[in-house]
């Protein structure tokens, strides 16, 4: 339930630096927009729930996701993350017969969604837009 700032904050900075002229990275503007979307998405949830639904670490993970994926693919990654998280959480509730109040960390699902998006995000986005 903890996110290591010692790793994540430098990763955000390195990700932003990499957008300047490094191939296979989003443009700096796309990265900044993506970070803004990630922070805003989690920031709204944090404010509405007063910190009960998600923690501040999720905001930093959202920023990192946006920086490395850009604004379009961060949306794909967020969708995948929440979809996978929902399926796993429902499975935990059914299998272990736990109550709905069980706390499940979101970070592993965000990482999973980000990794899937890094490899298949463009294809998934193209397929979705073609529908």
Residue 101 pLDDT greater than 70, yes or no: no
Q: Residue 100 above 90 pLDDT?
A: no
- Give tens-digit pLDDT for 107-127: 999 999 999 999 999 999 999
Q: What is the DSSP string of 35-61?
A: HHHHHHHHHHHHHHHTTSS--HHHHHH
State percent of the chain over pLDDT 90: 65
Instruction: Single out the residue of 67, 82, 77 nearest to residue 22, CA to CA.
Output: 67
Do 23 and 58 meet the contact criterion of CB atoms below 8 Å apart? no
Quote the pLDDT of residue 103: 76
| pLDDT attached to residue 63 | 96
Per-residue confidence (pLDDT) for residue 71, from 0 to 100: 94
Residue 84: predicted pLDDT:
96
**Cα 59 from Cα 54, distance rounded (Å):** 9
Q: What is the mean pLDDT of residues 81-96?
A: 88
Q: What is the pLDDT of residues 10-58, one digit of tens each?
A: 999 999 999 987 888 889 999 999 999 999 999 999 999 998 888 889 9
pLDDT over threshold 80, residue 99: no
The domain spans of the chain are 5-130
Does the CA dihedral 65-106-58-126 come out positive or negative?
Answer: positive
Nearest to 80 by CA among 43, 127, 33: 127
Give the C-alpha separation, 34 to 26, whole Å.
Answer: 9
Residue 62 has pLDDT above 70, yes or no: yes
pTM of the model: 0.88
**Token duo for residue 2:** 């903890």
């Amino acid at each position: 339930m903890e996110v290591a700032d010692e790793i994540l904050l430098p990763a955000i900075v390195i990700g932003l630096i990499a957008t300047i002229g490094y191939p296979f990275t989003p443009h700096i503007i796309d990265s900044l927009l993506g970070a803004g979307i990630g922070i805003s998405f989690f920031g709204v949830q944090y404010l509405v729930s007063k910190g009960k639904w998600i923690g501040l670490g999720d905001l930093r993970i959202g920023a990192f996701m946006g920086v490395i994926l850009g604004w379009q693919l961060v949306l794909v990654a967020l969708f995948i993350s929440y979809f996978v998280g929902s399926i796993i959480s429902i499975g935990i509730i059914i299998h272990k017969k736990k109550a709905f109040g069980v706390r499940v960390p979101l970070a592993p699902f965000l990482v999973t969604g980000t990794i899937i998006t890094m490899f298949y995000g463009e294809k998934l986005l193209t397929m979705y837009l073609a529908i």
